[in-house]
Amino acid sequence: MTKNITFVTTEFPPEPGGIGNHAYNLANQLVSKGYKIDLICDYRKVNRIYEDEFDAQLNFEVTRIKVTKPRFLMYFIRLWKINHSIMNSDIVIASGKFSLWIVALISMIQNKKCYAVIHGSEVNLRSKILKIITNISLKRYSKIIAVSNFTKSLISDLNLPYVTVIPNGFELFEENNLTNDENNKSKDSLNFITVGSITDRKGQLNFIEAIPKLLSSYPNLHYHMIGNPMEKGKILERIIDLGIDKNITIHGVVSDSQKQNILKMSDVFVMLSNNTATGDVEGFGIAILEANSLGIPAIGSEKCGIEDAIDNKHTGILVNPKNVNEIHDAVIEVIANFSFYKKNSKTWSENFSWELIGERYIKIIEA
């Protein structure tokens, strides 16, 4: 018998975002195994045509909530539509902060199996009131799935017995061979790359601060940044101060094929994310695995979800993102033993295909 699933998410493509990427791929995996999905999310663009065209190509139903004024009307419509969908469902999956709250509220009047997917920032809130609301909401769920052990640790104080870790998956590129197949790297023309919105959380500035020291060892290095340049002004100001503008390219938002081509030219992926003062944290690090699948090792931040995305000293190295010396030494280590890290990176990435990750979700759903 086909099971009907209501999937409520705070983000969804075609707009970028890790929560949306997760929802899209998990929904596709569940549909491929015979589940019927009704996914509910908000419109994120004023012009809704772009999102409507994207939804029309999917093999599951997507219901988007329009942004309306007054705002409370939008909240009422969202609540009504989610409640109506849940009435006809066997299982409910909630992903993202507002989704956790709404589904938990509806669970008080509808007796359904509800599963929460937590990514990081939504359970690391600085507001005491919002933190209390989130903690109460989490206790309403049959099972909580954290995308990393770090994310799980953020709710350890609740002592919930039904929390499990299933990492994010990623989609393999159509081609997974590097254009440059060197076993070891020289000091000439080394390329570093970060994929992700240019923000404090993603930590591009941390690597920029390390570039002057790295230039003493690798005078021809170049750093590529791909992603929404949300804090480009701040980044450019620091680049000019350090006099390293010739060593950096800010690509901004690019197509998937452009991203793949730039990745193929890269030698080391860096994600030196920060745990910000507002509670924003890196829950996992899908972009790291995408790079790994191309044989690109990574250098990433310790004490966040990246610890689950990097097999330390095998597929890359975890460092204090604010420590220039640690970053420098990590680069030296990876480049000196590049063939080792490259081989391990490719093998490691195979553990995170969406097909395998989807099977782990299905085991929980069918339990």
Among 295, 275, 272, which residue's Cα sits nearest to residue 341? Answer: 295
Domain 4-165 has CATH 1.10.20.10: no
Alpha-carbon gap, residue 320 to 300, rounded angstroms = 8
Residue 19 CA, chain-centre distance (Å), reads: 7
Among 217, 269, 209, 219, which residue's Cα sits nearest to residue 239? Answer: 209
The CA-based angle 293-297-301, given to 5 degrees, is 115
Alpha-carbon gap, residue 55 to 264, rounded angstroms = 30
Residue 207: predicted pLDDT:
98
Are 80 and 113 in contact by the 8 Å Cβ rule? The answer is no
**What is the phi-psi region of residue 19: left when phi exceeds 0, alpha when psi lies from -120 to 50, beta otherwise?**
alpha
Alpha-carbon gap, residue 182 to 198, rounded angstroms = 30
CA-derived radius of gyration, the chain = 21
Alpha-carbon gap, residue 334 to 184, rounded angstroms = 10
Q: What is the DSSP letter of 44?
A: -
276 CB-near residues (< 8 Å, 6+ apart):
200, 201
Same fold for the pair 4-165 and 191-351: yes
Question: Hey, what amino acid is at 67?
Answer: V
pLDDT, tens digit only, all 367 positions of the chain:
679 999 999 999 998 888 999 999 999 999 999 999 999 999 988 788 999 999 999 999 999 999 888 888 888 999 999 999 999 999 999 999 999 999 999 999 999 999 999 999 999 999 999 999 999 999 999 999 999 999 999 999 999 999 999 999 998 765 544 444 555 555 567 999 999 999 999 999 999 999 999 999 999 999 999 999 999 999 999 999 999 999 999 999 998 899 999 999 999 999 999 998 888 899 999 999 999 999 999 999 999 999 999 999 999 999 999 999 999 999 999 999 999 999 999 999 999 999 999 999 999 999 8
Residue 364, Cβ density class (10 Å: 0-12 exposed, 13-18 middle, ≥19 buried): middle
Domain made up of 191-351: CATH architecture: 3-Layer(aba) Sandwich (3.40)
Are 319 and 262 in contact by the 8 Å Cβ rule? The answer is no
Residue 189: predicted pLDDT:
79
Specify the 3-state DSSP secondary structure of 295. coil
Token pair of 23 as six digits: 């929802």
Specify the 3-state DSSP secondary structure of 192. strand
Q: Per residue, what are the HEC states of 226-263?
A: ECCCCCHHHHHHHHHHHCCHHHEEEEECCCHHHHHHHH
Work out the number of other CB atoms within 10 angstroms of the CB of residue 289: 27
Is the model's pTM score more than 0.85? yes
Residue 356: predicted pLDDT:
96
Alpha-carbon gap, residue 20 to 18, rounded angstroms = 5
Q: At what angle do helices 128-138 and 97-106 cross, to 10 degrees?
A: 50
Alpha-carbon gap, residue 115 to 92, rounded angstroms = 6
| φ and ψ of 254, to 5 deg | -130, 165
Pairing of strands 4-9, 36-42: parallel
Alpha-carbon gap, residue 115 to 365, rounded angstroms = 9
Are 34 and 2 in contact by the 8 Å Cβ rule? The answer is yes
Alpha-carbon gap, residue 238 to 134, rounded angstroms = 37
- So where are the chain's domains? 4-165, 191-351
Pairing of strands 191-195, 163-165: unpaired
